[in-house]
Amino acid sequence: MDSRVSELFGGCCRPAGGGAGATLRGRGGAAPGGGGGSKTKKKNGRSRGGKANNPPFLPPELKLVNPSQYRFEHLVTQMKWRLQEGRGEAVYQIGVEDNGLLVGLLEEEMRASLKTLRRMAEKVGADITVLREREVDYDSDVPRKITEVLVRKVPDNQQFLDLRVAVLGNVDSGKSTLLGVLTQGELDNGRGRARLNLFRHLHEIQSGRTSSISFEILGFNSKGEVVNYSDSRTAEEICESSSKMITFIDLAGHHKYLKTTIFGLTSYCPDFAMLVVSANTGIAGTTREHLGLAMALKVPFFIVISKVDLCSKATVERTVKQLERILKQPGCNKLPLLVNSDDDAVTAAQQFAQSPNITPIFTLSSVSGENLDLLKVFLNILPPLTNSKEQEELMQQLTEFQVDEIYTVPEVGTVVGGTLSSGICREGENLVVGPTDDGKFLRLKVCSIQRNRSACRVLRAGQAATLALGPFDRSLLRKGMVMVSPEMNPTICSLFEAEIVLLFHATTFRKGFQVTVHVGNVRQTAIVEKIHGKDKLRTGEKAVVCFRFIKHPEYLKIGAKLLFREGVTKGIGHVTDLQAITTKENGLEESLGSGQLSF
């Protein structure tokens, strides 16, 4: 979004450019959202360099007023391209020239332009929704307007846009309650009723604390309206009705479940993180640690201050100032953006994905529902981090599926859950899974696929799903394995090197020290074999360290992000070198129930 447009709509963040057409200005990849803004008049018409603010002459065809058939077809083709680039979403700015001049249109011209835009959307199978509308002052009696419009493709063949949002925060900050309110469509009663449907274990219900990783879905249809369990009875109905899906990964807040939280952040590859902070307790417990994890793994995050109904306005402001102070510190270098209106939510969502330094802050209540709609508008407009070209490149690669969860389902057999890192996976496809404890890979067949609890025939790179493996022996599987194409000839290792930064250690970090290493979906204890160029490390120092897994080999990739911990010891880095053990040395095995065949 151009800086002048951002200024006019009240945005306070540095925007990025893009454009399409003389008075119809579009931007693919910026996700749309619902609801038009208020029509407040702001004198921003002079932002064109101090020239006279006389309304320029614009040919009728450049305003989308009764375009010729040739121009209409050209604009339709342009819209198709923008929707493809934005993975089914785009935001158009009507009344803004290609160079960012805030021209504005008359009321009649705007109605005709919106009518043409609606015809274009129908032609490509999309819906449009007005996001917000503003008047541009040209010192004339006739008001001129610019309008931001959402264009979102109607879902077909289950190809809805899916974003994963990890939910972080201290214990008792209201994470599960907020997700319950968003996904169930009913406010909480103040005693945790909304979170009951999210818990997976009896002890979670009894204690009120999340100890495992759970997934909840929130949908938005092509018009930007919320689709959740209040309107739909099953997950299948939500998927069928939605053009965009937000999958929330509910993580544990208590410190003793920290390894589960780290596993959720590293293995499920969230697009964004939502840090929930209680207004009455402020930054306490694991809040700083979770904030540090999101920054270390470079996951863009936004902040939700919950339970504002329990405190005074002064307490909420104090918590906001506390967060702003931390975000502005040299270690964070973030620009906090407090969201107080629909316009703020639209601006925050558009700028959040474009600039890594912007951190939106919401203040809301799951009991009174205060400002809950602002969060929904933000989530609705939140764009994907990858464009269609990057997605296509991932899909061209060989199949690689990370195993994060393992289940046994009656009458179905063994089921694994995880994320497809690259390639395409189809029903009936033959893959190999490993490495096993002795470093081997086993052949298997994918019997069926489910995404968001509904059947799916094809899985594409970046999508999370569960795969049914039929009679495959569950005891041969474990978290951290990968399912890959047999053509890949996957490499595994027990010994690897990583360039690390020691974030904290009470004494000195030496050879022989044992840490728990997290690399993607891999989580295993490793021992420090060697520190290159040094005998020991202290807090804040960097080095290339050689690690060795103490139990079994793992599938790693050079360049993968690494996080290790042991008690209060913490460090981050990336894998730089592998001492690979090829599958030719280990061989392949096939598992069909109880029988095994060596190749």
Q: Which residues contact 111 (CB under 8 A, 6 or more apart)?
A: none
Binned at pLDDT 50, 70 and 90, residue 272 comes out as very high
pLDDT in tens, 95-137: 887 776 777 888 888 889 899 999 999 998 889 988 888 888 7
CA 539 – CA 530 distance, rounded (Å): 17
Q: Which residues contact 107 (CB under 8 A, 6 or more apart)?
A: 143, 145
State residue 109's pLDDT score. Answer: 87
The mean pLDDT of 46-50, rounded to a whole number, is 38
The mean pLDDT of 378-399, rounded to a whole number, is 87
Binned at pLDDT 50, 70 and 90, residue 413 comes out as very high
Binned at pLDDT 50, 70 and 90, residue 197 comes out as low
pLDDT in tens, 489-501: 888 999 999 999 9
Please tell me whether the peptide bond between 435 and the residue prior to it is cis, using omega within 30 degrees of 0. yes
Binned at pLDDT 50, 70 and 90, residue 142 comes out as confident
The mean pLDDT of 363-367, rounded to a whole number, is 93
Is the pLDDT at 191 greater than 80? The verdict is no
Of 47-51, 208-212, 396-400, 565-569, give the lowest mean pLDDT range.
Answer: 47-51
Is the pLDDT at 188 greater than 60? The verdict is yes
State residue 425's pLDDT score. Answer: 94
Whether 23 contacts 65, CB under 8 Å: no
Binned at pLDDT 50, 70 and 90, residue 49 comes out as very low
| Chain-centre distance for alpha carbon 499 | 27
Tokens encoding 16: 């990025």
The mean pLDDT of 553-558, rounded to a whole number, is 93
Of 16-20, 88-92, 348-352, give the lowest mean pLDDT range.
Answer: 16-20
Whether 15 contacts 6, CB under 8 Å: yes
pLDDT in tens, 210-246: 667 888 889 998 888 999 888 776 888 888 888 899 9
- Phi then psi dihedrals of residue 305, to 5 deg: -95, 115
What domains are defined for the chain? 69-153 (3.30.110), 161-385 (3.40.50.300), 389-484 (2.40.30.10), 492-580 (2.40.30.10)
Binned at pLDDT 50, 70 and 90, residue 138 comes out as low
State residue 20's pLDDT score. Answer: 34
Q: 178 burial class (0-12, 13-18, 19+ CB within 10 angstroms)?
A: buried
Is the pLDDT at 258 greater than 60? The verdict is yes
pLDDT in tens, 146-169: 888 989 887 665 567 889 999 999
Question: How far is the CA of 368 from the CAs of 35, 177, 308, 371, in angstroms?
Answer: 21, 13, 9, 9
What DSSP string describes 519-541?
A: ETTEEEEEEEEEETT-SEE-TT-
pLDDT in tens, 54-90: 444 333 334 577 888 888 898 999 998 888 888 888 8
Of 83-97, 442-456, 462-476, give the lowest mean pLDDT range.
Answer: 83-97
SS3 at position 581? strand
State residue 158's pLDDT score. Answer: 53
State residue 431's pLDDT score. Answer: 94
Binned at pLDDT 50, 70 and 90, residue 339 comes out as very high
Q: What's this model's pTM, rounded to 2 decimal places?
A: 0.80
Binned at pLDDT 50, 70 and 90, residue 5 comes out as very low
Is the pLDDT at 388 greater than 80? The verdict is no
State residue 515's pLDDT score. Answer: 94
263: how many CB neighbours lie within 10 A of its CB?
21
Mean pLDDT of the chain: 82
Binned at pLDDT 50, 70 and 90, residue 206 comes out as low
**Percent of the chain with pLDDT strictly greater than 90:** 43
CA 290 – CA 275 distance, rounded (Å): 8
State residue 67's pLDDT score. Answer: 83
